[in-house]
């Protein structure tokens, strides 16, 4: 925020005096106070300063997956041995909850997003689920819900113990719906959520039993993955993690270029246009071995006709490989964009080193984040590519690294993913992206009938527009207004501390809210309640401007319900103009009017600049002073 240096302003409401006291109150956004969080605080797993409590623990899983994906029939046959470490919990577990996210394609399962009827079928077929103990395999009884199963254990699992399950399944992979994945030409597929995945059991809610419905997103446990994927028809495979056996799968020419890309910071076309006219892999059918440590999910894409370009750059003492797998030539530019995004995220906001060794941008559909991979369309406009690429890579931190529950709190991961890279986007985009575009959307939305408070659980939003506004645009603007209240340095410090403190854990929205209060030393609940827990109209206006004793007084009226900052643009009577930013702190006491005192030359006209600030009514944003005496 730019502030004019020599204008000394004092807003005349008491609200503008910033409190520096340590925040002790545990009151949370109203009326969405979450008693389960308060219980977690009393149990010592959470705190009211934004860091994990001394008793905080998370569970963890180790997946060994063997999957065979037959690309021509689009069918996947898999088996996995998963060991689950039960660290975080209250009492013994009598059952294990497992997500089958692909059951949104099952006939009869509720979906809140368009699914092509050709993709609707039997869902995930569980052929076998067994407990593995001392070399013995025991069949487990399961109860199936919409997109989850619950497996009963023959004996309780106590805290501190581990359990191993063997699961065999198969699933026809949806080709046509293109919800975060699908089939893109005869041999190009992107296959997310393809394996039975143990649900999150966290310290606040226990098992996550929210059934997936397609529109809202996911909640993942941290895990290690050791995956062997077999594909046919000479397809190459890209996946989360690091390929363990490149020499066994790639042709000698491709292998040589692959090794160059891993050691060069120049773009290397590992699979070029010429390469795809012949086979780039060794055999018709290959086994691709990938490993990934401490990530929250595993995904893969495959193709026999995509090009592949990569480069490897130094990042804080380690190497990161940025790659693009693509059919459209322009998509190749995504490699450099990926590198600059990762540098921004690692060093500016949230200023935490990118945690993985790879990031592969896969040209498929839409824009969807996965650990170490993004599935993305080639947008017509490069500005849109900048937006999508930087947005999706930011998801590395929110939700993946900080373990956010997206199906309940989309506004934390999507809101931060809109907000955090907005300056990066604005610095290289030619059109308004970032907060300018969001401010325009938010201006009128918050008083619409279907608007929902940001804090509404994502899975209960009802309309997809309400979900989008509450998860993306409204929180992005909210975080920008908060930055105006606490200052950019404080916001950056809070983002960095939050990301670090919750790395490979499960952050709740209150953890971020408390962290920001703690780092800023300000009680921010007045704003949290106003912006995140309520809807309402956005409308500031200039009610009056007058001059007394060589001081200009600007009276700002809040005609709406939302607490907004004011960016004032003055023109002086003697010529020249200036801007002045007054943060939303002016509404802290719930007053409707705030008078800003500005000593200095006589002002002729004042305008509210609403380029980055929502305002549903522009008729009261301009004031011309006819008579300066009062």
The residues, any chain, with a CB within 8 Å of residue 598's CB and separated by 6 or more, are 7, 8, 9, 551, 552, 553, 554, 570, 580
Residues in the chain: 630
Contact mark string toward Zn ion, 132..171, x via CB under 5 A: ----------------------------------------
**Nearest-approach distance from CB 447 to Zn ion, in angstroms:** 25
CB of 510 to Zn ion, least distance (A): 21
Nearer to Zn ion (CB atom), residue 341 or residue 417: 417
Binding window for Zn ion (CB under 5 A); candidates: 24-32, 139-147, 406-414, 552-560: 406-414
Which two tokens mark 57? 């623990």
| Terminal CA-CA length for the chain | 32
Q: Which is nearer to Zn ion, 222 or 417 (CB)?
A: 417
Of the two residues 458 and 582, which places its CB atom closer to Zn ion in the complex? 458
Binding mask 514-553 for Zn ion (x = CB under 5 A): ----------------------------------------
Q: Would you say 376 or 523 has its CB closer to Zn ion?
A: 376
d(CA 225, CA 298): 7
148-157 vs 142-144, strand pairing mode: antiparallel
Cα–Cα nearest to 204, from 92, 88, 93: 88
Supply the DSSP symbol for 210: P
CB of 400 to Zn ion, least distance (A): 11
The least distance separating Zn ion from the CB of residue 114, rounded to whole angstroms, comes to 19
- Write the binding mask 417 to 436 for Zn ion: x where contact by CB under 5 A, - elsewhere: x-------------------
Q: Looking at 294-302, 304-312, 408-416, 479-487, which segment touches Zn ion (CB under 5 A)? A: 408-416
Q: Least distance in Å: CB of 467 to Zn ion?
A: 12
Positions 583 through 612 that interact with Zn ion (CB under 5 A)? none
For the bound state, the minimum distance from the C-beta of residue 59 to Zn ion, rounded and expressed in Å, comes to 25
Q: Shortest gap between Cβ of 417 and Zn ion (angstroms)?
A: 5
Q: How far is the C-alpha of 587 from the C-alpha of 547, rounded, in Å?
A: 23
CB of 414 or CB of 539, closer to Zn ion: 414
Rounded-to-integer distance, Cα 214 and Cα 526, Å = 34
Applying CB under 5 A, the span of 86-94, 212-220, 372-380, 409-417 interacting with Zn ion comes to: 409-417
CB nearer Zn ion, residue 29 or residue 399: 399
Q: How far is the CB of 71 from Zn ion (least distance, A)?
A: 28
Question: Which stretch, 251-259, 318-326, 412-420, 460-468, contacts Zn ion (CB under 5 A)?
Answer: 412-420
Q: What gap in Å lies between CA 308 and CA 302, rounded to an integer?
A: 11
Q: Using alpha carbons only, what angle is made at residue 220 by residues 190 and 185, rounded to the nearest 5 degrees?
A: 5
Segment interacting with Zn ion, rule: CB under 5 A, options 98-106, 413-421, 491-499, 537-545? 413-421
Rounded least distance, CB 498 to Zn ion, Å: 18
How far apart (Å, rounded) are the C-alpha atoms in residues 288 and 67?
10
Which residue bears the tokens 């575009």?
437
Q: How far is the CB of 394 from Zn ion (least distance, A)?
A: 8
- Picking from 510, 512, 483, 490, the residue whose alpha carbon sits closest to that of residue 500 is 512
In this structure, what DSSP letter does residue 14 have? G
Q: If DSSP states are collapsed to H, E and C, what string results for 257-325?
A: HHHHHCCCCCCEEEECCCHHHCCCECCCCEEEEEEEEEECCCCEEEECCCEEEEEEEEECCEEEEEEEE
Choose one: 169-177, 325-333, 411-419, 520-528; the region binding Zn ion (CB under 5 A): 411-419
Q: Which is nearer to Zn ion, 421 or 565 (CB)?
A: 421
Q: Min. distance of Cβ 391 from Zn ion in angstroms?
A: 5
Q: Which is nearer to Zn ion, 392 or 578 (CB)?
A: 392
Nearest to 187 by CA among 85, 51, 302: 302
Task: Map residues 362-401 to x or -, x wherever contact with Zn ion holds by CB under 5 A.
Answer: ----------------------------------------
Token digits of residue 553:
């007084």
- Determine the size of the site formed for Zn ion (CB under 5 A): 2
Q: What is the DSSP letter of 134?
A: T
Q: How far apart are CA 208 and CA 52, in angstroms?
A: 19
> How far apart (Å, rounded) are the C-alpha atoms in residues 269 and 278?
15
User: Are 265 and 201 spatial neighbours (Cβ–Cβ below 8 Å)?
Assistant: no
Q: Pick between residue 59 and residue 341 the one whose CB is nearest to Zn ion.
A: 341
Among the listed ranges 255-263, 293-301, 416-424, 582-590, the one in contact with Zn ion (CB under 5 A) is 416-424
Q: How far is the CB of 395 from Zn ion (least distance, A)?
A: 6
Of 373 and 540, CB closest to Zn ion? 373
Tell me the closest approach of the beta carbon of residue 263 to Zn ion, in angstroms: 32
Which one, 229 or 418, has the nearer CB to Zn ion? Answer: 418
Tokens matching residue 113? 């997003």
User: Which CB atom, from 215 or from 417, has the smaller least distance to Zn ion?
Assistant: 417
Under rule CB under 5 A, which residues in 225-244 are in contact with Zn ion? none
* Segment near Zn ion (CB under 5 A); pick from 120-128, 221-229, 331-339, 415-423: 415-423
Report, in Å, the least distance between residue 179 CB and Zn ion: 14
Task: For the CB of residue 91, give the shortest distance to Zn ion in the complex, in Å.
Answer: 36
Give the C-alpha separation, 49 to 512, whole Å: 9
628: nearest Cα among 601, 608, 609, 607: 601
Number of separate helices (H) and strands (E) present in the chain: 13, 32
Kind of pairing, strands 300-303 and 188-191? Answer: antiparallel
Q: Give me the half-sphere count of Cα atoms (radius 13 Å) on the Cβ side of residue 6.
A: 4
For 359-390, letters b (16+ CB in 10 Å) and e give bbbbbbbebbbbbbbbbbbbbeebbbbbbbbb
Taking the least distance from each CB to Zn ion, the nearer of 84 and 419 is 419
Q: Which residue number, 219 or 258, has a Cβ lying nearer to Zn ion?
A: 219
- Of 71 and 417, the one with the shorter C-beta distance to Zn ion is 417
Indicate the residue among 234 and 472 with the shorter CB distance to Zn ion: 472
Q: Residues 163, 165, 171, 176: what is their CA dihedral angle, to the nearest 10 degrees?
A: 20
- Tell me the closest approach of the beta carbon of residue 377 to Zn ion, in angstroms: 14
Interface ranges with Zn ion (CB under 5 A):
414, 417
């Amino acid at each position: 925020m730019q502030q004019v240096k020599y204008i000394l302003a004092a807003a005349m409401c008491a609200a503008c005096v910033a409190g520096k006291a340590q925040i002790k109150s545990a009151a949370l956004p109203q009326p969405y106070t979450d008693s389960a969080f308060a219980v977690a605080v009393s149990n010592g797993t959470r705190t009211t300063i934004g860091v994990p409590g001394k008793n905080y623990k998370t569970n963890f899983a180790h997946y060994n997956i063997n999957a065979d994906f037959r690309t021509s029939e689009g069918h996947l046959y898999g088996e996995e041995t998963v060991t689950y470490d039960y660290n975080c919990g209250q009492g013994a577990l009598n059952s294990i909850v497992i997500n089958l996210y692909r059951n949104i394609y099952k006939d009869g399962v509720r979906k809140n997003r368009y699914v092509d009827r050709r993709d609707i079928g039997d869902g995930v077929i569980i052929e076998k689920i067994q407990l593995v103990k001392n070399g013995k395999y025991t069949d487990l009884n399961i109860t199936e819900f919409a997109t989850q199963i619950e497996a009963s254990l023959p004996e309780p699992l106590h805290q501190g113990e581990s359990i191993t399950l063997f699961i065999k399944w198969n699933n026809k992979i949806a080709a046509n719906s293109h919800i975060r994945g699908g089939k893109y030409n005869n041999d190009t597929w992107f296959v997310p959520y393809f394996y039975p995945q143990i649900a999150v059991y966290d310290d606040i809610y226990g098992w996550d039993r929210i059934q997936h419905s397609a529109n809202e997103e996911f909640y993942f446990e941290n895990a290690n993955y050791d995956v062997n994927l077999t594909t046919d028809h000479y397809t190459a495979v890209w996946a989360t993690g690091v390929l363990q056996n490149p020499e066994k799968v790639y042709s000698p020419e491709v292998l040589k270029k692959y090794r160059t890309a891993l050691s060069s910071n120049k773009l290397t076309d590992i699979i070029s246009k010429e390469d795809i006219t012949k086979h780039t892999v060794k055999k018709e059918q290959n086994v691709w071995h990938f490993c990934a440590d401490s990530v929250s999910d595993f995904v893969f894409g495959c193709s026999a006709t995509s090009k592949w370009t990569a480069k490897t750059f130094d990042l804080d003492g380690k190497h990161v490989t940025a790659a693009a797998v693509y059919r459209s030539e322009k998509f190749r530019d995504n490699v450099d964009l990926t590198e600059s995004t990762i540098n921004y995220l690692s060093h500016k906001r949230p200023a935490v080193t990118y945690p993985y060794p790879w990031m592969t941008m896969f040209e498929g559909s839409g824009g969807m984040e996965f650990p170490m991979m993004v599935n993305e369309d080639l947008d017509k406009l490069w500005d849109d590519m900048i937006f999508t690429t930087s947005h999706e890579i930011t998801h590395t931190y929110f939700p993946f690294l900080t373990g956010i529950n997206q199906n309940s709190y989309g506004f934390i991961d999507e809101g931060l993913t809109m907000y955090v890279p907005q300056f990066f986007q604005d610095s290289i985009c030619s059109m308004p992206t970032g907060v300018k575009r969001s401010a325009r959307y938010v201006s009128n939305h918050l008083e619409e009938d279907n608007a929902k408070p940001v804090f509404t659980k994502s899975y209960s939003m009802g309309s997809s527009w309400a979900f989008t506004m509450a998860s993306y645009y409204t929180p992005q603007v909210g975080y920008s207004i908060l930055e105006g209240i606490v200052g950019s340095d404080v916001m950056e410090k809070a983002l960095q501390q939050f990301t670090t403190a919750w790395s490979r854990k499960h952050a709740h929205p209150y953890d971020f809210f408390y962290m920001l209060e703690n780092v800023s030393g300000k009680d921010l609940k007045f704003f949290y309640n106003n912006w995140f827990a309520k809807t309402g109209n956005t409308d500031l206006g200039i009610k009056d401007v007058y001059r007394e004793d060589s001081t200009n007084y600007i009276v700002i009226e809040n005609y709406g319900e939302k607490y907004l900052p004011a960016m004032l643009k003055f023109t002086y009577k003697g010529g020249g103009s200036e801007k002045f930013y007054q943060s939303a702190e002016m509404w802290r006491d719930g007053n409707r009017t705030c008078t800003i005192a500005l000593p200095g030359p006589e002002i002729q006209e004042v305008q509210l600049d609403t380029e980055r600030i929502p305002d549903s009514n522009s008729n009261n944003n301009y004031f011309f002073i006819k008579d300066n005496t009062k």
